[in-house]
Amino acid sequence: MSTSYSFVRSLNDAWQRTGSLLCVGLDPEPARFPAALANRADKIFEFCRDIVDATAPYASAFKPQIAYFAAHRAEDQLEALIAHIHECHPGLPVILDAKRGDIGSTAEQYAREAFDRYRADAVTVNPYMGFDSIQPYLAHTGKGVIVLCRTSNPGGSDLQFLETGGRPLYQVVASLAAEKWNASGELSLVVGATFPKEIEVVRGIVGDMPLLIPGVGAQGGDVQATVEAGRTRAGSGMMINSSRAILYAGKDEDFARAAAQAALETREKINAYR
């Protein structure tokens, strides 16, 4: 990869080129695959590959969740999938959803895993251990680092809403990410679609910084509220992720076509409020 590569620049290019803010999440569950794939040795790769090829015209990014591969000893299939995306759909960034969080030499190894082994364009990280747990990822020039800020799960409030210095912790994380941690210009934040008021607050803190927004689709986040809260003045700035609602839109051999239709409908719904 050229050292001139920039995740944020490629993301902005993808938003403009595709006319889409949709990020397709790749969370493969073999128990939900069509029967025709049941006995295939590389069924996780084949399922995800077909989803990617079908939905690429309507997406600006893909987000494979590493646990869904590792749990089935399918890390090699994840490598093959990311290689396929880079080869067949160049310019669409790949976000490795790993939510890593550790310090020092361990964080350096996680960064190598994400960027050297899997060749992801960005990775999600947990900031609970502070800046030195994030810094090793920033050493990889041009790679994106997406920091958990206000997550979509209900339990996120247990810590993210604790008052510190007169502000909820998630706002402190947003400020640190925007002001002190983002020397590389490649940081983004995770803010859940299930909390549109907080999306608006975070947008006000971080300006045009990209936001990865999970929670639409199966988790019930409202698309209109999400877009209106999180869009930048240019009408972009968001990677709005949908996983299960797209992956499992169909249950038979036409699963990829059903996924494409679901992706198209989601893209159009998002664009209606930009």
| CA distance linking residue 229 with residue 135, whole number of Å | 29
Catalytic residue among 43, 63, 99, 197: 99
The b/e string for 39-72 (b: 16+ C-beta within 10 A; e otherwise) is eeeebbbbbbbbbbbbbbebbbbbbbbbebbeee
Given phi > 0 = left and psi -120 to 50 = alpha, else beta, which region is 222?
beta
∠ CA 161-167-171, nearest 5°, is 70
| CA distance linking residue 110 with residue 125, whole number of Å | 10
Q: Is 63 a residue of the active site?
A: no
Length of the chain: 274
Closest residue by Cα to residue 66 from 33, 36, 89, 100: 100
| CA distance linking residue 166 with residue 170, whole number of Å | 12
CB within 8 Å of 251: residues ≥ 6 apart: 32, 34
Gyration radius from the chain CA atoms: 18
Task: Give the amino acid at 43.
Answer: K
List, by residue number, the catalytic residues.
99
